[in-house]
Structure 1
Amino acid sequence: MPEFISLNGPDNVGKTTQLRRLAEHWSGFQPLGAVHEHDPEPWERVATEGYARWWFEISTTVELTEMLLASHAKRAAARGADRTGLLDRGLPMLFAVAAATCAVKDGLTVREAINTVSGIAGSQTALPETSILLLPSLDPERSYAITSAREGRPWTGIYPAYQKSLHAALLHQASHGMYTAVVNCEGRSLDDVHADVLDRVGAHVPVPPHGSPR
């Protein structure tokens, strides 16, 4: 079994739903959630400035990237012995989030921003993580259109530009093999996507004997 399995992807792609269903599949999974849940103090502190304002105006790319990585390490440390931790956004996704923020704040291309974030992260050792990327579509414009429609209200301010940069960053990462597997969710039911996710981690997930508890 891998130590960690992460589900990654843009807003409204279904990460939370698929993580919940994955956790129900086997008792050896340990849901670990998002990074801020394991390191609340710094995130609560910056929220006093107005969370969006701190994120997109006040913070530097170095500060944001290092906070994400530090919180990621604390989340990893919460994994129990002999459990497989389920991560809401793993390490590649955190890099994509930092890069998309860097792109819109500093006026960089997505490629330039990814290189900037990678330089900040340096040679930090990645966790043994099976990372699954869920995409609303393999086309970046279509992907953005799907997730923005699911929001139920218009994204305003800098957020649309950030989301478009995030979709582009995720697709760039996928094209460079940053994820263990990519699941295209366009036009598919939750059940179909879930079956695909299970298939992508199936080599690692034990199947309980018939009639036995999971």
Structure 2
Amino acid sequence: MTGFVSLNGPDNSGKSTQVRMLADSWEGFRDLGPVHRHDPVPWTRVSGEGYGTWWFTTSMTEELTGMLFASHAARAQACPSGKVGLLDRGWYMLLATAIATCAVKESLSAENAGTRVLALLDSDEPDPPEFPVLLLPSLDAERSIAIARCRDGRPWTDTYLGYQRHLHRVLLCMARQGVFAEVIAGPVQDIDATHARIRWALTERGVGVPTHRHPVKDGRSS
């Protein structure tokens, strides 16, 4: 049986909502949350008012990539035996994040940034394995960015917009390569319809979600 299920996608794509709904669906799931919760010391050191500057300017690609994946490993180890761990941003999402950040920070193409980041990792696929689901506003990169930007409710700097462009394109490239077990995309995604599709995909792969505490209601959107 799959040991981990990850919800992936850009900001405001519904990842955290779907993780919470899955955790409520079956006691066999355990919501492990984002990576920084499991390795708080380095993240506390860089968080605060200057976090954005550290992320995009002063941090080294080696440092940031190392922190992301060391924290990911710590999160995996925190999953209780016999439970299916729910990951808010899994291995592929962390990889896309590291690649997009590297591309912006070092003025590289996404392809060259991907080569650089993968050279820092021990593997080119999730370890431990996971069932990755991708949530996207749209399968068109610029349309997806426009929707995400509108949902964010705050202005984006040129640096952050550049990062988002790389991030969306890397995720779409991964989707075309078939690395995600399920891709759910559309300009407006109903929360319950999205949840039903995720549950169906999990059931098809033998990951049990025997109870449903979220009845489908027309008209709800994420």
TM-score by length of 1: 0.92
8 Å CA contact 1:185–1:193 kept in 2: the answer is: no
Decide whether the 8 Å contact of 1:38 with 1:75 is kept in 2.
yes
Residue equivalent to 1:113: 113
Alpha-carbon distance in 1 for matches of 2:189, 2:18: 13
Out of 136-145 and 104-113, give the one that drifted further. Answer: 104-113
For residue 146 of structure 1, report the CA deviation from its aligned partner. 0.5
Q: How does 1:19-168 map to 2 (within 5 A)?
A: 19-47=19-47, 50-123=50-123, 126-168=127-169
Q: Secondary structure at the match of 1:5?
A: strand
Q: SS in structure 2 opposite 1:134?
A: strand
Between the two proteins, what is the percent identity of the paired residues? Answer: 51
**1:127 match: secondary structure:** coil
Please report how far the alpha carbon of residue 126 of structure 1 lies from its aligned counterpart in structure 2 after TM superposition.
1.5
Higher alpha-carbon deviation: 27-36 or 45-54: 45-54
- The superposition leaves residues 166-207 of structure 1 with CA deviations (integer Å, 9 ceiling, x where unpaired) of 101111111122222211133331111111111111133335
Match of 1:11 in 2: 11
Q: How far 1:98 sits from its partner (Å)?
A: 0.2
Aligned-partner Cα distance in 2 for 1:91–1:11: 16
Paired residues, number: 210
The alignment yields a C-alpha RMSD, in angstroms, of 1.7
Unaligned stretches of 5+ residues in structure 2:
213-222
For the residue of structure 1 that corresponds to 2:12, the secondary structure is: coil
CA distance in 2, matches of 1:16, 1:208: 21
| 4+ runs deviating over 4 angstroms | none
TM-score, L = length of structure 2: 0.89
After alignment, is 187-196 or 98-107 more displaced?
187-196
